[in-house]
Amino acid sequence: MFGFDDKLQILADAAKYDVSCSSSGSKRKNNGGIGDSSASGICHTYTEDGRCVSLLKILMTNFCIYDCSFCVSRRSNDVQRAAFSVKEVVELTMNFYRRNYIEGLFLSSGIFKSADYTMERLMLVVKKLRTEERFNGYIHLKAIPGASESLLKEAGLYVDRMSVNLEIPTEAGLKLVAPEKDHQSVREPLTIIKNEIQNVQQDRKTNKKIPLFVPAGQSTQMVIGATPESDFQIMEAANTFYKDYNLKRVYYSGYIPINATDSNLPQIGTAPPLVRENRLYQTDWLLRFYGFSLHEILNSKHQDLDLEIDPKLAWALRNPQFFPIDINTANYNWIIRIPGIGRQSAKKIIQARKYGKLKEHQVQKIGIAYNRAKYFMLCQDTLITAGFHYPEKIRKSILEHNPQSQIKGPNSQLTLF
Amino acid sequence: MDYIFDGSYLGYLCCVFEAFERKEFDSIPKTGKAAEITLFSEKRMISTDTKKANRILTGMEKIIGKQETIFFYHNFLSDNQIEWLNGFRLIVELFRKKQLDIHNYGYPPILRLHQSIKKINRERHRMKAFIRFVKSNDYLYTAVVEPDFNVIPLVVQFFKNRFADQCWLIYDLRRNYGFHYDGNTVVEVSPNESDEIRDPYQLEVDLDPQEKAYQHLWKTYFKSTTIESRKNVKLHLRHVPKRYWKYLVEKI
Ligand code: SF4
């Protein structure tokens, strides 16, 4: 028996390797229909591996004419194949949404017959959801490289976010595992959508009636650890794509071995590089929200991230000349560079110090990681000891006393800072 | 001196009013239930008077602003005697000094207030996420919950915006009241006004014929998305604490 339940199982299972799941950043309002996507993201549940479930993430089909060796859906892989009809995806989405299981839909697909044939079906799903079901929840669509401009543009009218996966950070790496593919075919759809986003934004300034177009922007994903790129190469690729295509997010997905025949890839049984993946996200975060530039964290001298400590701490230990920072006088941009102090606590510190100089016990309570921060900051009552400790000594005592910044074992997922 | 009020926010604010009228600034706001336990302290019954409560509210808004006045409402929803007392003392201080530095995180009672509000906000966010509707054959979507804090009033508007075209009922089993939306307006409901409200997962007869199928599909989906080689139960539990499982389809 091959029922709907099996189909869902196969097509959800195949989609789970796509890491993007956020549902924030859109501004679609409910106008009498159902749903909105104006709220910031909501995770409705978490999988047993600890990842957030916010969208119904499925493939339209796992049939594929390509044979990318890092992918479960590749044509040479011996797996069960299934395909949803347009109607089935629409009904599933609506019924899950109405029960408050999900924030919306993340729809992706293997390439069936041709790029346009596949893209058209994806487009029909999102069109039906918006126009017939009056659905205003979040929709993230994976664009199919090689699909025609008119189809991409039509789909863009109905979705909140579009993404095209870069898959492997460098062209050379990609050639190794997917000779039929290239980065150029990813750049094309990204360019079409980017230009249309800009046109629509421009036009909407004068005419509010022009419909939204991909309001939550574009994103991409790279599989890391499948091919031998350094962290510096990965982050350089990310940096370039952020700049060239105005991306909202780049996702880094630690490769999970699923291919027993391709000897270019890590073998089945190898643990996915979870800590490395987390360090890459932390770096991405530092670049986007903490005012760091890439060469401060990674450069030709430091090609790979330190797996034992987070990248902000690693940067601080390499740059003792900037420390300690006086939290009673430094500006926000410097306070957030102190290891163990995040953006929220930095804001609180700045608010609180208006009422008087802050002492150590007060700062501790504000919610910082004091055991890390103490080496790098001055409070009003900090005893000035004989200057800055040796970085190596600090590193050692942080690792000893603060299990937070240590590796927790190969199978744990770390959180951001 | 214990001030016994009816458990409503307005009643709580009337305690402040009373404290100023009688210059009893050390009094402790409590509800009837809590007061029974402390047999030996002196008690004064505080009746709820909307006018008095509103005078307190406008007074607070004048001094610290509208946005900040809402902090005290959120703190009140903690349902916790100690947080109530902390908020009460801060309001008293606010009026006596004619000012209150609401963002002075270096001052312990203020820090405590913010920590309490943070907990409320977390629970409010969780309710937006973890509420699961069960559809019955009369097109009503029912959700039953038992939040740690009294946060359902804080999510009603959210669900009203989101599920504008379906009728729903969100019910707090612990506090025995809820909100019903009929496609137009939201009204507060308590068990003596409508029938007894039961856990909708236990219902068999009144369910929409497809309800069980969709619950099952959701469970299937939930299982299929886990990546075995990344399993991390500790992290999972931190995100979805066990006390919520009872009402989560995928965890039943
Ligand atoms: S084209 Fe996409 S779905 Fe097909 S094998 Fe390559 S990565 Fe997988």
CATH code at A151? 3.20.20.70
Question: Among residues A221, A238, A255, which one ends one of the domains?
Answer: A255
Domain boundary among A255, A279, A300: A255
B206-244 pLDDT per residue, tens: 888 899 999 999 999 988 888 777 777 787 788 888 888
> Residue B188's beta-bridge partner residues?
B179
Q: Is A92 on the interface with B (CB under 8 A)?
A: yes
Maximum Cα–Cα distance across chain A: 75
Average pLDDT over residues A93-103: 95
Nearest to B133 by CA among B177, B178, B171: B171
pLDDT of res. A416: 44
Flag whether A262 is in a domain.
Answer: no
pLDDT class for A115, splitting at 50, 70, 90? very high
Q: Which residue has its alpha carbon closest to ligand 1 atom 1?
A: A66
> Which of A46-55, A373-382, B17-26, B196-205 is predicted least confidently?
B196-205
pLDDT the model gives residue A39? 66
Q: Given this model, what pLDDT does residue B32 score?
A: 79
pLDDT at A57 over 80: yes
Chain A residues touching residue B238 (CB < 8 angstroms): 50
Q: Is residue A298 part of a domain?
A: no
CB of A407 within 8 Å of any CB in chain B?
Answer: no
The answer to whether residues B91 and B25 touch, using CB atoms and an 8 Å cutoff, is no
Task: State how far the alpha carbon of A14 is from the alpha carbons of A67, A138, B180, in Å.
Answer: 15, 21, 39
Residues of B in contact with A259 (CB under 8 A): none
Half-sphere exposure of A377 (CA within 13 A, CB side): 31
Q: Is residue A177 part of a domain?
A: yes
A91-110 per-residue burial string, b: 16 or more CB within 10 A, e: under 16: bbbbbbbbbbbbbbbbbbbb
pLDDT at A52 over 90: no
- Cβ proximity of A150 and A170 under 8 Å: no
Query: Is A162 among the domain residues?
Result: yes
Percent of chain A exceeding pLDDT 70 equals: 92
Average pLDDT on A125-145 reads 95
Interchain pair A412, B163: CB under 8 A: no
Which pair of tokens denotes residue A307?
Answer: 């797996």
Report the distance separating Cα A48 and Cα B231, nearest Å: 6
Comparison of pLDDT for B252 and B150, the residue scoring more: B150
Q: Is A206 exposed, middle or buried (0-12, 13-18, 19+ CB in 10 A)?
A: exposed
> Tens of pLDDT along B33-55?
776 666 667 889 999 999 999 99
Q: At what angle do helices B50-64 and B81-97 cross, to 10 degrees?
A: 70
Measured CA to CA, the distance from residue A415 to residue A404 in angstroms comes to 10
Q: What is the mean pLDDT of chain A?
A: 88
**B82 φψ region: left (φ > 0), alpha (ψ -120 to 50), beta (else):** alpha
Output the pLDDT for position A367. 84
A393 is a domain residue: yes
Distance from CA of A275 to the nearest CA of B (A): 11
Residue B108 structure tokens: 């312990």
Residue A134 contacts residue A34 (beta carbons within 8 Å):
yes
Report the C-alpha dihedral over residues A111, A114, A118, A119, rounded to 10 degrees: 110
Domain span including residue A315: 311-405
* B234 burial level (CB within 10 Å; 0-12, 13-18, 19+): exposed
Higher pLDDT: A413 or B141? It is B141
Q: What is the arithmetic mean of pLDDT over A168-187? A: 92
In angstroms, the Cα distances linking B157 to A95, A239, A277, B162, B186 are 21, 40, 38, 9, 9
The burial of A329, by beta-carbon neighbours within 10 Å (0-12 exposed, 13-18 middle, 19 or more buried), is given as exposed
Distance (Å) from the alpha carbon of B96 to chain A's nearest alpha carbon: 19
Best mutation site among B99, B220, B221 for testing chain A: the one with the most A CBs within 10 Å? B221
Same-domain status, A246 and A372: no
pLDDT tens digits, residue range B124-175?
Answer: 999 999 999 999 988 999 999 999 999 999 999 999 999 999 999 999 988 8
* CA pair distance B120, B125, nearest whole angstrom: 9
Span A277-304, mean pLDDT? 95
User: Between residues 331 and 360 of chain A, which touch chain B (CB distance below 8 Å)?
Assistant: 348, 351-352, 354-356, 358
Of A216, A236, A255, the domain-final residue = A255
The residues, ordered by sequence, that sit 6+ positions from B239 with a Cβ below 8 Å of its Cβ are: A43, A46, A50, A52
- Tell me whether A366 touches chain B (CB under 8 Å): yes
- Number of domains composing chain A: 2
- The structural domains of chain B, with segments of one domain joined by +, span 2-122, 131-208, 209-252
Span A229-242, average pLDDT: 96
- A366 lies in some domain: yes
- DSSP E strands in B28-158: the ranges are 28-31, 43-45, 134-135, 140-145
Q: What is the pLDDT of residue A348?
A: 93
The interaxial angle of helices B66-76 and B81-97, nearest 10 deg, is 150
| Chain B residue with Cα closest to A258 | B229
Q: A414: pLDDT confidence band, cut at 50, 70 and 90?
A: very low
Cβ contact A42–B226 (<8 Å): no
In this predicted structure, which of A249-258, A305-314, B240-249 has the lowest mean pLDDT?
B240-249
Nearest CA in chain B to A360: B106
Contact B239 A52 (CB under 8 A): yes
So what's the pLDDT on residue B194? Answer: 55
